[in-house]
Amino acid sequence: MFNSYSIAHFIQYFILGRYIINSWKIFFLISIGWELLEIMLPFEFARESILNKFSDIGINCLGFYMGKLTKKNR
């Protein structure tokens, strides 16, 4: 399930993969940690179905992977 935030997720994790984070373990901690935190946040943007949370993690993985692929210094 994709929504308007899916593009933002992809871009954010692409940037993390390309410029900031090198470790898949740290990536998963941040990605899954954020989705768990959203469950507790009282804001409208954080209200989404469990299916959408899994979709977000999938988009995050794709963005991070593509960012790592385009990194010049592997």
Write out the two tokens for 15.
């940037």
- Rounded to whole angstroms, how far apart are CA atoms 53 and 59? 10
**Pair 27, 16: CB distance under 8 Å:** yes
Instruction: Give the residue among 47, 51, 53, 41 at the shortest CA–CA distance from 9.
Output: 53
Average pLDDT, the chain: 92
Per-residue pLDDT, averaged over 39-53, amounts to 88
pLDDT score recorded for residue 73: 61
pLDDT score of 11 more than 80: yes
Token pair for 34: 């954020």
Whole-model pTM: value is 0.88
Rounded Cα–Cα distance for residues 21 and 38 (Å)? 22
